[in-house]
Amino acid sequence: PDLMSAYQSGLIDLEGVQAVQTAMITHCERMGDRVAILDAPPGMKPQEIQNWRVNIANYDSSYAALYYPWIKVFDPVAGKSIAVPPSGHVAGIWARNDTTRGVHKAPANEVVGGAIDVEFQITRGEQDGLNPVGINCIRAFPGRGIRVWGARTLSSDPAWRYLNVRRLFNMVEKSIDNGTQWVVFEPNDFALWQRINRGVTAFLNTVWRSGALFGATPSEAFYVKCDDETNPPEARDLGMVTVEIGIAPVKPAEFVIFRISQWSPEEA
């Protein structure tokens, strides 16, 4: 919201907005445990925002999500409705969704609390054009309120197209990284690898039972590998232990693989 306030005040132009948003995305990619919530510029009609997204702000990252249009809320000071960027409300929806359903549930089809209208009414046809390019629409539905109607990242990679997949991986990777800090300075041997395998498997079993992973059995939903193959002698000589994890967030037997390593400080 502060970025768009600066834009509306004339302190920065649209190129400045894009520069700040690019920096936000870069920061999130570097940290690896957060996702940028981006506001679309105000005053753009659906066709204009689609053109802006595709031809100007052609961000390509799974660590960012873009929301459109702005929402209208009642300003008690002015005594009338005003249009505000949606990012603050969206952040609240993410937090509420994480608490009530879990990070694996897409934060969409959720009511935008406090919103009384939207800057532009989005038709189904317009939604069909905006959603594939990563513009998450906020729509007004008669009798159902104003709802977030999209949960896509800005990535062109189909594996990272959906926001809940990106955030699920962030949560799993960060949790395992934090949960394996105890291995630092432990003897890097077969016994340690077994302990790591047991601990990570127990955690992923909990994730699977929560409904976050697809698969009728744990073996269909994830795998954990920590052995002499992931930890060859040359890696052990560097004071590093590595565990490889694959999880199936979308379909059974389709794994996206990442590796987590812990280092002994005096060896690294």
Q: What percent of the chain has pLDDT over 70?
A: 96
* In contact, 91 and 37? CB cutoff 8 Å: yes
pLDDT tens readout for residues 197-245 = 999 999 999 999 999 999 999 999 999 999 999 999 999 999 999 999 9
Strand 135-141 versus strand 64-68 pairing type: parallel
Closest CA to 94 of 179, 166, 4: 166
Beta-carbon contacts of 91 under 8 Å, excluding residues fewer than 6 positions away, are: 37
pLDDT category at 266 given cuts 50, 70, 90 is low
Owner of token pair 């197209």: 161
Q: Above 60 in pLDDT, residue 250?
A: no
Q: Above 90 in pLDDT, residue 254?
A: no
Delineate the domains of the chain, giving CATH numbers in brackets.
2-160 (no CATH), 180-263 (3.30.360.90)
Q: Above 50 in pLDDT, residue 252?
A: no
Instruction: Classify 80 as helix, strand or coil.
Output: strand
Q: In what order do the strands lie in the sheet with 222-225?
A: 222-225, 240-247, 256-263
Q: What is the mean pLDDT of residues 114-130?
A: 96
Helices 190-209 and 163-179: crossing angle in degrees, nearest 10, is 140
Buried b (16+ CB within 10 A) or exposed e, 110-124: bebeebeebbbebee
Q: Above 70 in pLDDT, residue 182?
A: yes
Q: What is the mean pLDDT of residues 50-74?
A: 97
Q: Above 50 in pLDDT, residue 89?
A: yes
0.75 cut: is pTM over it?
yes
Instruction: Classify 143 as helix, strand or coil.
Output: coil
Q: Is the dihedral of CA 167, 169, 172, 173 positive or negative?
A: negative
Closest CA to 198 of 227, 173, 228: 227
